[in-house]
Structure 1
Amino acid sequence: MKVLVISDSHGDQKTVEEIIRKEKPDLSLHLGDFGRDLKEGISVRGNCDGLSHFPLKRILELKGHRIMMSHGHKEGVKRGLNNLYYHAKEQGVNIVLFGHTHLPLQERIGDILFLNPGSVSLPPPGRKGSYLILELEQGKIEAQFEQIMD
């Protein structure tokens, strides 16, 4: 199963649509701060999404993986992953997808894999926008970060 994971697109609908056309995922996940660019897939609310009707967290079961989606701002991910780790342990997940920092990250803490796709449209200075492709199979996960070329 091919899963597209994006975050922090901040209203850049054109780029999001181009990525979806290019990647042709089975499922699209957005980790918040989307503005008005989300037309399909599953999402959570970020700190810039105001009174959005989307939840702050979601738990998904995909191909034998228990996955938590969170923007990460409520867990203070800019200061570290400890709070997010404890939330993940409470939920019994093995994969955590989060955004907010605008920086791509792959880190394993214990038996939990943490993945941040970075920002589609507002990367830090000197970096390119990025997103994540997950290939999920029963008991197996492959994560590939992709850069957005100008």
Structure 2
Amino acid sequence: MRLGLVSDSHGELENLREALRQLKEKWRVEIVAHLGDAWEDTVVFEEFSELSYLRVPGVYCPPYRDPAVPNRLAKEIAGYRLLFTHTPTAHSHDLEGDPDPQLLAQAGKVDIIAFGHTHIPEIRREGKVLWVNPGHLKSQDKKGHSPSYAVLELEKKAVKVWLVDLLSSVPFAEEIFQREG
């Protein structure tokens, strides 16, 4: 099962549209998660009705302050417990009751944490938890990283992760994590 991750589109709908096109056509993902900034950009998903999608708001998006909108989503997908969040840590804009990603990881309650916010693409393993940040989709970004997205292939015994440059559609990082236990 393949899952796509995008984050920090910040109103750059053409880049989001291109990422979704690549995720659908090249990577054949089944689900795409938008990890915040900006919530309203997910209107583009309507153009890709064959894709399922999830979304969480960014900490500065108005829906983040709405108790009816979950700021973090915990989902089981293909036998993995995933947390979808904008920030990798608790944030001052969190609402009462919002789970802290770090505490969930330390308690062993998640297998994978998908996050954005930093605009820096990364794949890392801390203990038994895989952390993935797809980067951002801005044409210009002050942190020096090109627009990118992530693809996760969730298999019974391993997770494969690719970080993909949006402009070239070529992966610039690839990791395989064997499932523990």
Aligned to 2:134: 117
Aligned to 1:6: 6
Aligned to 1:80: none
Q: TM-score normalized by structure 1?
A: 0.85
Which residue type is aligned with residue 130 of structure 2?
A: L
Aligned to 1:64: 79
**Cα distance in structure 2, aligned partners of 1:123 and 1:131:** 14
Query: 1:101-122: CA deviations, max 9, x gaps?
Result: 0001111111111111111115
Q: Which moved more, 1:67-76 or 1:114-123?
A: 67-76
Which of 70, 94, 115 is the aligned partner of 1:55? Answer: 70
Structure 2, unaligned stretches of length 5 or more? 46-52, 92-99, 169-181
Aligned to 2:109: 92
How many residues get paired? 144
**Cα distance in structure 2, aligned partners of 1:73 and 1:112:** 12
Q: Which moved more, 1:112-121 or 1:84-93?
A: 84-93
Which of 39, 58, 80 is the aligned partner of 1:46? Answer: 58
Which residue type is aligned with residue 34 of structure 1?
A: A
User: Between the two proteins, what is the percent identity of the paired residues?
Assistant: 30
Aligned residue for 2:41, secondary structure, equals coil
**Cα distance in structure 2, aligned partners of 1:74 and 1:136:** 24
* 1:32 partnered with 2:36: yes
Aligned residue for 1:88, secondary structure, equals helix
**Cα distance in structure 1, aligned partners of 2:58 and 2:143:** 21
**Cα distance in structure 2, aligned partners of 1:92 and 1:99:** 20
**Cα distance in structure 2, aligned partners of 1:74 and 1:45:** 15
Q: What is the CA-CA distance between 1:51 and the residue it aligns to?
A: 2.8
**Cα distance in structure 2, aligned partners of 1:118 and 1:130:** 6
Q: TM-score normalized by structure 2?
A: 0.71
Q: What is the CA-CA distance between 1:125 and the residue it aligns to?
A: 4.1
Q: Which moved more, 1:140-149 or 1:43-52?
A: 43-52
Which residue type is aligned with residue 36 of structure 1?
A: E
Q: What is the CA-CA distance between 1:91 and the residue it aligns to?
A: 6.6
Cα 1:124/1:146, change in 2 over 3 Å = farther
